Amino acid sequence: MTGWVIDGVMVVLLALVLVSTLMLNSRLKYLRDSRRDFEAMVKQFDEASKRADAGIKALQQAASKSGEGLQDQLNRARTLRDELSIMIESADSLARRLESAAPGKADVARSADPGTPAARSKAELDLLRMMGGKREGGV
């Protein structure tokens, strides 16, 4: 009889081992499936990070080209500003020399009404005549 009891206990223990093994197997299967899903997510994340890296590089190149273009425009603008400054200084110097050469005419031109034809220069009157005489008499 003790042999039967020992055999019965062994059957119960084997049944428990079988149940626990089946449960462990199902958990391992779930873990393997989860691992596959996790690997797929890691691959997707890797691809997304590569695309983002390529996008960042493209943005950096575009920003660099744009910055170079802006710098070129800024350099040209500075050059033009310097040239205009020199031209203005030259024009001011020339105007001062012309005023000093004919002081009486400059005073008459300043005192006359700018709307009258007498106060206008010959070049201005010629220009108005070429435009059709629309403004010959006044402003």
Alpha helices in 102-112 (DSSP H): 103-111
Report the alpha-carbon distance of residue 89 to residue 84 in Å, rounded: 8
Report the alpha-carbon distance of residue 79 to residue 83 in Å, rounded: 6
Q: Could you say which DSSP state residue 138 is in?
A: -
Q: What is the tens place of the pLDDT at every residue in 50-71?
A: 999 999 999 999 999 999 999 9
Say what the pLDDT of residue 136 is.
Answer: 45
Buried b (16+ CB within 10 A) or exposed e, 88-102: eeeeeeeeeeeeeee
Q: What is the tens place of the pLDDT at every residue in 74-114?
A: 999 999 999 999 999 988 888 888 888 875 654 555 555 55
